[in-house]
Amino acid sequence: MKEHIMQNYFDEIVNSTVELIKFDSSMKSAEDGCPFGKETAACLQYFLSLAESFGFETKNYDNYIGEVLFGKGEDFAVLAHLDVVPAGDGWKYPPFSGVINDDVSAGGVTGKKIWGRGTMDDKTPAVVCLYALKALKDSGYKPSKTIKLIVGCNEECGWKCIEHYNKVAVMPKQGFTPDANFPVIYAEKGILHFTAAFPIENAPFTALQAGQRANMVCDLACATLTRKAGAKLVYYENPIAGTTFSYDNTTNILRVRGKSAHGSTPAKGANALQALLYFFSTFNADCKKAYDVLFDDCLGLKAMQDETGILTMSPDVASFENGVLKITTDIRFPSTHALEEITGKLEEAGINFEIAHYQAPLYNDPNGELISTLTGVYNKVTGKTEKPIAIGGGTYARALECGCGFGPEISGEEDTIHQPNEYVTFDRIRLMSVVYYEAIKEIAKPKYHRLGWVKPVYKK
């Protein structure tokens, strides 16, 4: 069988991915024209310089977001992102080193892989899409559309990159994002981050801090206990699986460690905040109220369900100040339900809360041209007969009038996104290289190539 053209670029893809992984592009404070920190801006510049070296026109929109342009005609977006969530703890290899080996002791399947934060979410897919454009360009392919490979720098924490792009440029109406699952995502749940405030009388702690990001399952929660609370630890047995307690009698600090995961899939992690709050709930009524609402779901929010799945809740960030415990929760709700169904129940229960972030659900016709075309490409490349699916995660597809998620994850395989020891296998790089090349080639063909030639009719 003839080797696919993308195999010629494999080594370059791996090398470029490793270089991108070395940038800690998690969100930092703005400085000197770098809205998300200098290292994130440097990561963007590296990517755009690489594209320029291939002969592509590029644009850097004030270090918020950039784009690579290929072809002429109607715009079509390939939306990726270069920012990452914080690395967190529990890594076997440094998260920003791009180590390559075939180790399976840290998790993962056999075969070579690249380790590092952003390997799957979303630096490798961004690099692969760039090299797919290069391969098409090198082969002499003339797309009938303008392919805009847009790379944002704030997808994980606020989408200010997309807001800025919409101010200074024109977003294509149609496109895909290589930041989800194969075969194709036709629907995404709604996203709600809300911060609830719970006054705590006779608080069993004088300080409390937990979590890093609202969309990451809390893997570390710490509290400075009162002496009475510390004494209760002597005979306490922690029932929350996957979490561990560590108490320092000298400082009265209790540390609870868990396992991080994506906020849309809380069951894949072990929430340290849940274990900490459950301990306090066993002897403090106000803590029990917070636990009952956010973890035990006494309001019945998780009963919401449709074809896109059930509502998930992941309380991930907490702080304590002036007698008030504030907890930020990540909710992913089914696409056919409304935000008001959730906020209404919180209001009825008398919960004091503020909305920190909201994105409406995404729903596309699973039989529409874009979804059908991408599904067909994936099935042709893999020999499968997959159908479009729905997910709980939120992607850049929502930034488009008609957009969808398209790889690189595959349902049923190990998911390390937002977790320690994130990796991408060489086999997955090879697969997405062929799929993205063939998808862009198919989408950008003149219509008579895809739909069949129509003989012109000439009038005499």
Please list the active-site residues. Answer: 83, 155
Neighbours of 246 (CB within 10 A): 10
Bond prior to 408 in cis (omega within 30° of 0): yes
Cα atoms found within 13 Å of the Cα of residue 386, Cβ hemisphere only: 26
Measured distance CA(149)–CA(410) in Å, rounded = 22
CB environment 384-407: b (16+ within 10 A), e (fewer)? eeeebbbbbbbbbbbbbebbbbbb
The tokens of 12 are what?
């370059």
- Whether 114 contacts 14, CB under 8 Å: yes
My answer on whether omega of the bond before 183 falls inside 30° of 0, hence cis, is yes
Token readout for 382 is 């893999």
Rounded CA separation 222/205 (Å): 10
Closest by CA position to 423, among listed 118, 169, 88: 118
Q: Which residue has the tokens 């026109």?
A: 57
Whole-Å CA distances, 91 to 23, 142, 208, 447: 17, 44, 25, 48
> In the chain, how long is the greatest CA-to-CA distance?
99
Number of neighbouring beta carbons within 10 Å of residue 73: 13
| Bridge partners (DSSP) listed for residue 402 | 174
What DSSP string describes 26-91? B----BTTBTT-HHHHHHHHHHHHHHHHTT-EEEEETTTEEEEEESSSEEEEEEEE--B----S--
Please say whether the beta carbons of 83 and 103 come within 8 A: no
Q: Report which DSSP code applies to 196.
A: E
Nearest 5°: the CA angle 353, 396, 300 is 35
Handedness of CA 206, 211, 215, 216 (dihedral sign): negative
**What kind and span of H or E run contains 373?**
helix 369-382
